[in-house]
Amino acid sequence: MIQHRIGRFAVALTAVLLPLAGVQVVAATTASAAPNVVNLQYDSTDAPDYLSEADQAAANWNGAVSNVHLDSGGGATIVIHEVTGGGSYTQTDGHGSGDIYIDTAQVAEGNDPTRILAHEMGHNLGLPDHYTGPCTEIMSGHGPGPSCKNAMPDAQESAQVDQNFANGFATSSTLVSRVYR
């Protein structure tokens, strides 16, 4: 019985230490040099009005996470499309592959295109929607309204993405593969 309890304590201690180790990696190296980093490519050529916004959205994620890195380039598994009407959404496996659709009508209504793209990239990185969240969250999406221009994930969202890709391309036990909007 005592041994069993010690074992449980050890598991709990590991769970506490892992996030700290992740922080140390960020401080000591660049994101692309992290040991387990998953390099993903995205292709935004089918969204010609939002090329710089797509790059900025990817840069925002790259600055916030250490286990996955997004670059524009060939062989892309994330393909960004520009559409009009129907809303912005994503069709994705929730783990690095998918199609992102940015709705020009939503942008015309005042929604920030960089925020939209960072949100949809978040789905490709395994995050679900959280519309009731504040503007400081990227996955709150259109919940806070078009006046919300924040395109940066918060610390909790970044930690979840790092956890989703902690095993490289292998699916993590905590992976959330929710999709759409």
Beta carbons within 10 angstroms of residue 117's beta carbon: 28
Phi and psi at 90, nearest 5°, equal -135, 140
* Binder of Zn ion out of 103, 112, 129, 157 (CB under 5 A): 129
Nearer to Zn ion, 66 or 158 (CB): 158
Look up 53 and say whether it is catalytic: no
Shortest spacing between CB 62 and Zn ion, in angstroms: 20
Nearer to Zn ion, 26 or 143 (CB): 143
Nearer to Zn ion, 101 or 165 (CB): 101
Shortest spacing between CB 78 and Zn ion, in angstroms: 15
Instruction: Answer yes or no whether residue 130 interacts with Zn ion by CB under 5 A.
Output: no
Instruction: Answer yes or no whether residue 162 interacts with Zn ion by CB under 5 A.
Output: no
Interface mask toward Zn ion for 106-125; x: CB under 5 A: --------------------
Shortest spacing between CB 69 and Zn ion, in angstroms: 22
DSSP string, the chain: -HHHHHHHHHHHHHHHHHHHHHHHHHHHS-GGGSTTPEEEEEEEEE-GGGHHHHHHHHHHHHHH-SSEEEEE-SS-SEEEEEESSS--EEEE-SSS-EEEEEEHHHHHTT--HHHHHHHHHHHHTTPPP-TTS-TTSSTTTTTT-TT----S--HHHHHHHHHHTTTTTSPPTT-------
Contact positions with Zn ion (CB under 5 A) in 75-94: none
Instruction: Answer yes or no whether residue 181 interacts with Zn ion by CB under 5 A.
Output: yes
Q: Which of 53, 82, 120, 157 is labelled catalytic?
A: 120
Shortest spacing between CB 54 and Zn ion, in angstroms: 16
**Active-site amino acid positions:** 120
Residue ranges that bind Zn ion, judged by CB under 5 A: 129, 141, 181
